[in-house]
Structure 1
Amino acid sequence: MFSITRKICQWLIPFVSALTLAQCEKSPLENPTEDNNSETMQYVLPYYPDDYSSIASWSNRNRWNLANVHDPSVAYYKGYYYMYGTDASYGNAHEGHGHFQGKRSTDLVNWEWVAGPFYDAPTWVADSLNAIRSRMGLEAIPEDDIQYGYWAPVVRRVNVGGQEILRMYYSIVIDNYIKTEKSNTQTNFDGSWTERAFIGMCESTDPAGAVWTDKGFVTTSSSDRGLNYNRSSLSDWNAYFYYNAIDPTYIVTPEGKHYLIHGSWHSGFALLEVDAITGKPLNKLGEPYADSVAELTARYGKRIGTRRASSRWQASEAPEIIYKDGYYYLFMAYDALDVPYNTRVVRSENIDGPYYDINGRNFTNGEGDCYPIVTHPYKFNLGYGWVGISHCAIFKKENTDEWFYMSQGRLPVNVGGNPYSNAIMMGHVRRIVWCPASPNEPDNLWPITLPERYAAVPDYGTITKDSLVGTWEHIKLEYTYGRQNTATALTLNADGTMSGALTGSWSYDVAKKQLKLGNVIVCVEREVDWEATPRRVTLVYAGTEKNLNATYWGKKVK
C-alpha cells in the first residue's frame, strides 16, 4: 500500500482544463528600502505569474518556467542545474509524454523544460513484480493490467571511474491489489493491500539530450509480516509493508561511502548502503518479506527515523539528506500533500543516526514531532499565499557555500474562483539561512528557508540597522494542520522597541545580519516581495528558537 497522500496527487488534476497564458516576463526593479544605483537599475525581477493555468497545456511546456513542479530533485552538471520530479501536472498535461520530465537553469530563476529518461516503464519492473508474486504463490499480473505510478526521483552528480555522470534513483509504484490483481479502486477492494513499489536507477552523461542508460532494480517495498498481506478494511492503515520503496535520497559521505535513504508513511526511513561504482546494494537483499523486523532490516536497511515508533501510518515521508560542518541534516515532509504538507529537519553526527531535532528529541527512536519547521502553509497580506510546501531538494549553489531549498508550492483551494487551483504546482526555490538555536548558542546553527522565493537579487551592500526600522509583515509559522499561518503587522521602532505582532525590544548584529526579536534570533537578507504589485526588492527574515516550536518569517513592507 502506498501513501494516501500520493493518491491525492492523482485526484484533482484530471478535472482541470488548460487555458492560455502570457509569456513569463520581467519587470524593472523597485527598491523601497535603499537608493537605486547603476547596478540595481540593471537588475530585473522575475515576473512569471504564480497561477500558470493559462499555459498548462503540453504545447506550452517551453513557457512553463517553474510551472508543473512536484517533488523536485536538483543536481548541477556541465553548467546547468538539472531538476527532475514526480509525474504530475495541472490537467495531467504530462500524460503520454514520458516520465520524470525535468527542467534546467543556469541561475535558479529561469528554467527551461528538458525531457525525462524514458517513455514507458522499464521491462524489469513487471518482471521483478511477477517473479516476486510467483515466489509468494500468486498469479502473475498481465503487463497491460499493471497500474504504474512514477514518483519522486533523486538525481546526483557522481564520479564513476574518473567520469562525472548524473545518477538518478526513481520510484515506480504498482497500484494493483495483491490478492486479486485488480486495480486499486474502492469497488475492487479484495481484503488485501495494494502491491509494492520499486526503486530503480539510471545514469546519463547527456541529460540535455535525454540520453539515459537504465540500470534496473535497486530495491523494493518489504514486509516484516511474511505472506500476511490481508487488510481488514479500507480504513485499516496498519500497513503490510514495513518499508515503502519510494522517495529515495542519496548521499556520498566524506569517507566516500554511498547511501540510499528511502521510505514514506509506513514504518519510517531505511538506510541502505550501495556500491559506489554500480549504485546497487552492497549486500544481497533476498526476499522482500520476512517474519520479523530484525530479519527484514538486516537485509533491507536500518531504520534511521520514524515520526512515531509504534505507528504504521505516521504521515512522514520524502527524506532528503545533506552533510554540512560535521552533521548529516535529514529533511522530511509531514502530512498530506494537498494543503497541510510542511517540512522539518533533524541532524546526526553519524549517517546511521541517531538523529535529533533542535530540542533533542530522538527522531530515530520516534519520540514525536520534530522541530524546527522549515516550511509551512502561509499567507502574506497581498496574496493568496501557498500550501503544500514540502518534499524538498536541498543543494548548494555551485562554487559557493550558499544552500538552497526547492519544492512545489500549491495555491489554496478556490483561488480566483477556480475549484481546482490546489492542483496548481509552482516550483519554489528558496535560500536557506543558518540560524542560532537560541541567543545562548550562537554556533548551534539550524537551516530555515527564507519566506520569499529566490530571485537572484544583487548585493547592494551592507544591511544597516536603520534600514530595518519600519513596518513588517510577521508570520509565526507554527504547526496548524491544514491551515495557513497568516501575517500580522510588526513595527520596528527607531528606539529599539517593537509594537504590533511582537512587543519588547529588538537589536541587530550588522556583521552577522542577525536581528534579535525578543529572545528569537532571525537572519536578515534581501529578496523579492512576490506579492507586491509590481514586485519589488525588500528585506526579509527567518529564524527560530529551540523552545518556540515555531519559526518566524517576515518581510518589510514600509
Structure 2
Amino acid sequence: MPNQLPEPAGDGLVFPESPGEFKLYDTSILELESEWGVHNAHDPGIIKTDQGYYVFSTDVRVGGEPVPGVMVRKSTDLIHWEWVQYALPGIPQVAMEWANASNLWAPDVVKADGKYRMYYSASSFGSRQSLIGLQTSASIEGPWTDEGVVLATREEDALNAIDANVLTDAGGRMWMVYGSFFGGIHITELDRKSGKPKQEGFGQLLAIRDPATEDGAVEGPYIVYNEQFKKYYLFVSYDSLFEDYNVRVARSDSITGPYTDAQGRDMKDSRHFPQHEVGVKVLGGYRFGQDPGWIAPGHNSVLNNDGTYYMVHHARGGQDKRWPYLHIRKILWTGDGWPVVSPERYAGETEQNIPPALIPGLWERLLHDPAVDGQVEPQPLEIHEHGGLTGAYGAGKWTFDGQRTLTLVWNDIPKGEGRFEKVQLLPAWDWEEKRQTLVFTGLNEAGISSWGKKSSSS
C-alpha cells in the first residue's frame, strides 16, 4: 500500500486496512436511496442490536424534498452502512396536527421491557410549536405502533420539545434529556413502563446560552455514563447548524447535574463571558492538508460498545456544505476522565501500544479553539528524535510513556494557557490521503482539544 507508515518488525502493531472507496458529492445517486450509505445522514442516533448496528436519522435530502418517515441504516462493522428503509409511512397524525411538520427530526431509539422505543421530533425551523412523539416495535426494523405524545411545547413556551435522548442511569431510573436552541437543555424522569414523563412540566435545566441566536445555540443533547470514571457526560452542539456547528462536552457526578467543563465552568452559566468558552470543544469544523475537510460537525450520539466508545455525528462536506454525511469516530479517554475523539473517521482501528520509533517526523497539528468559528486550519509540527519539538508555537519538548501517551510542552506559551498537553496516539486510516497513519488526540491544560496526524512526507 503506497505511502503507508512502515511497520517495525516484530512489534505487532496493527493499522486498519483500507475501508474502500467512499465517493462524496455523488449526484448519480440523488434518487437512489438504496445507494445512499453515509450520504444524507443528519442528527444520527445509534443503537446496537443482535442484528447489528442501526442508525436512525432526520429526514433530509440533497437535490430534492425529503421523504418524511425517519431514515434507517444498518451496519455490521460501523464502517460500511446499508440503507434499510423509512421507519414510518409518513408523519404521525398527532405530530402533523400539533407541529405541521414537513419532516421528522432527530430520532433516538432505545430498548426497554422487550420493545424498541423510537422517540422522534416534529417541528419546523425556528418554531417552538414542537412535539416529541413515541413509536414502539417488537423489531428494530418495525412495524412501529404510535404511542402518542411524550412532550409538547407551544410557541409561547420558553423552551423547545425536540432532540430527545433517552437513557437509564446507574441506578436503573430512566430519563429523557432534550431541548434545542430556545430555552436550553432540560432533563425529565420517565416512567419505565410507559416511556413518558413521570411528572408534569418540563423538568430540570442542564445547559443554556444567551441570547438564543444561531451564534448562541445549544442543542442536540446526549448523555452517556462512564462506569470507569463514575461520571455522566453531557454532549451538546453549539452555534449554527449550517456554518459552525461544533460539539461540546461537560460532566457531572449526577445525571441531573450540575455539568461542568474541564475548567469548572457550569453549562448553565449564561453570564460567563465570552460564552464560547463554556464546554470542552471536542469537535468542530476542520481540514487536513489540501483536502476540503468538513464543516459544521455535530448533533452526535454515543455508542458504548462493551466499554469501547464511539461518537456518531453528521458533518457537512467542505467542498459543498449542502451534503451531510454520517461520521463514526473512536472516543479515547484522558487519564483524568475526559472524552476526546479521533481526528480520523473510524476504519476498524484499535488502541495499542505504539513503538517509540514511529513518533518522530513531520505532523499536521490543529487545536479546536472554541474562539474559532468554522474550519480550523492545520499547522506544521515536527517531532524530533531526541525529545525536541518545533512548530507554529515555536520550540518545545516531548516525552512518551512507552505505551500510548505523548506529552508536549511548549517553551514560550505561558503556564495555564496551553503550554502543556497530553495526547494519546492511535493507528488510523488517513481518509484524506488514503493511507495508514498515526494520529493523536487529547487536551491541553486550558481544556482545548488538540489533534495531530503524521504526514505522508515523514
TM-score where L is the length of structure 1 = 0.74
TM-aligned CA distance change 1:376 to 1:41, over 3 Å = closer
Corresponding residue number in structure 2 for 1:53:
26
Is 1:429 equivalent to 2:328 in the alignment? yes
**What's the counterpart of residue 506 of structure 1?**
398
> 1:110 Cα deviation (Å)?
0.7
**Aligned match of 1:102:** 72
**d(CA) in 1 for partners of 2:300, 2:16:** 28
Letter in 2 for 1:473: E
Q: 1:216 to 1:64 in 2, by over 3 A?
A: same
Equivalent residue letter for 2:165? T
Q: 1:34 corresponds to which residue? A: 7
> In the TM superposition, what is the alpha-carbon distance from 1:64 to its structure 2 partner?
2.2
Q: How far is the alpha carbon of 1:269 from its aligned partner?
A: 1.0
Query: Of residues 129, 132, 140 in structure 2, which corresponds to 1:207?
Result: 140
Are 1:56 and 1:90, in contact at CA under 8 Å, matched by a contact in 2?
Answer: no
Kindly indicate whether the alpha-carbon contact (under 8 Å) linking 2:14 and 2:427 is maintained by their aligned counterparts in 1.
Answer: no
Q: CA deviation at 1:355?
A: 1.0
Partner of 1:349: 253
Question: Per-residue deviation at 1:446?
Answer: 0.6
Aligned length: 437
Cα drift, residue 280 of structure 1: 1.1
Give me the whole-angstrom Cα distance separating, in 2, the residues matched to 1:447 and 1:458: 16
1:65 matched to 2:37? The reply is yes
Q: 1:42 offset after TM fit, Å?
A: 11
> In structure 2, how many angstroms separate the alpha carbons of the residues matched to 1:372 and 1:194?
28
Q: How many Å separate the matches in 1 of 2:384 and 2:178? A: 48
Distance in structure 2 (CA, Å) of the matches to 1:56 and 1:246: 30
Match of 2:413 in 1: none
User: 1:159-184 deviations in whole A, cap 9, x for unaligned?
Assistant: 31xx2x32211100157xxxxxxxxx
1:453-510: CA deviation from partner (whole Å, max 9, x where unpaired): 1000367x63121110111111122124543111121111011000123421001112
Indicate whether 1:219 and 2:151 are aligned.
yes
1:404 counterpart letter in structure 2: Y
Q: How far does residue 90 in structure 1 lie from its aligned partner after superposition?
A: 1.4
1:31 aligned partner, one-letter code: Q
Equivalent pair of 1:373/1:448 in contact (CA under 8 Å): no
Give 2:204's aligned amino acid. K
- The separation in 2 between residues aligned to 1:256 and 1:29, in whole angstroms, is 51
Instruction: In structure 2, give the amino acid aligned to 1:172.
Output: A
The alignment partner of 2:181 has SS state of coil
For 1:58, what is the secondary structure of its paired residue? coil
Matched, 1:319 2:221: yes
For residues 17 and 147 of structure 2, what CA distance do their matches in structure 1 show? 43
* Residues 260-310 of structure 1, C-alpha deviations (whole Å, 9 max, x = no match): 111111121111111111101112x3xxxxxxxxxxxxx2211121124xx
Q: Could you give the per-residue CA deviations for residues 109-136 of structure 1, whole angstroms, max 9, x where no partner exists?
A: 011011132122212224556xxxxxxx
1:108 and 1:429 in contact (8 A); partners too: yes
Match of 1:116 in 2: 86
Tell me if structure 2 keeps the 8 A contact 1:274–1:282: yes
Using the alignment, how far apart are the partners of 1:524 and 1:375 within structure 2?
A: 17
1:85 CA displacement:
0.9
- TM-score, reference length from structure 2: 0.89
Determine if contact 1:29/1:537 at 8 Å carries over to the other structure: no
Query: Residue type of the partner of 1:540?
Result: V
1:360-380 deviations in Å (ceiling 9; x for gaps): 011134344423211011110
Aligned partners of 1:520, 1:385: CA distance in 2, in Å?
25
Preserved contact between residue 29 and residue 45 of structure 1 (Cα < 8 Å): no
Given the alignment of the two structures, is residue 173 of structure 1 paired with residue 123 of structure 2, yes or no? yes
- 1:41–1:364 distance in 2 versus 1, CA, 3 Å: closer
Conserved? CA contact 1:82–1:103, under 8 Å = yes
SS in structure 1 of the partner of residue 449 of structure 2: strand
Check conservation: 1:80, 1:106, Cα contact below 8 A: yes
Q: Offset at 1:29?
A: 7.9
Q: Which aligned pairs between 1:540-555 and structure 2 lie closer than 5 A?
A: 540-547=439-446, 549-555=447-453
Q: Distance in 1 between matches of 2:2 and 2:190?
A: 48
2:369 maps to what in 1? 478
1:280 aligns with 2:196: yes
* Structure 2 residue aligned with 1:364: 268
One-letter code aligned to 1:487: P
Question: Which residues of structure 1 form unaligned runs of 5+?
Answer: 1-27, 130-145, 176-192, 223-228, 230-239, 286-298, 416-420, 437-443
The residue number in structure 2 matching 1:380 is 288
Taking a change above 3 Å as real, the CA distance of residues 128 and 423 of structure 1, as seen in their structure-2 partners, is closer
Report how far residue 339 of structure 1 moved.
2.1
Structure 2 CA distance, aligned partners of 1:147 and 1:153?
14
Q: For residue 288 of structure 2, what is the amino acid of its counterpart?
A: F
Percentage identity across paired residues of the two chains: 28
User: How has the CA–CA distance of structure 1 residues 410 and 126 changed in structure 2, closer, same or farther, with 3 Å as cutoff?
Assistant: closer
Secondary structure in structure 2 of the residue aligned to 1:200:
strand
- Does 2:50 correspond to 1:148? no
Q: Distance in 1 between matches of 2:86 and 2:400?
A: 47
Distance 1:148 1:89, change over 3 A: closer
SS in 1 for 2:94: helix
**Two-structure CA RMSD over aligned residues (Å):** 2.4
Structure 1: distance between partners of 2:198 and 2:350: 46
Other-structure match for 2:298:
390
Alpha-carbon offset, residue 205 of structure 1: 2.6
Q: Equivalent residue of 1:466, what SS? A: helix
State whether structure 2 residue 378 is matched by structure 1 residue 406. no
- Between Structure 1 and Structure 2, the one with more strand by share is 2
Question: How far apart are residue 435 of structure 1 and its match?
Answer: 1.6
Q: Which runs of 5+ in 2 are unaligned?
A: 410-419
Note if contact 1:29-1:44 (Cα within 8 Å) is conserved in structure 2.
Answer: no
Greater Rg over alpha carbons, structure:
1
Amino acid paired to 2:42: H
Q: Is the 8 A contact 2:15 2:428 kept in 1?
A: no
The Cα offsets for residues 527-558 of structure 1, whole Å up to 9 and x where unpaired, read as 111111xx1111000111242x5211111112
Contact kept in structure 2, 1:29 and 1:43, CA below 8 Å: no
SS, match of residue 154 in structure 1 = strand
Cα 1:64–1:489 shift into 2, 3 Å: same
Q: Structure 1 or 2: larger helix share?
A: 1
Q: Which position in structure 2 is the counterpart of 1:235?
A: none
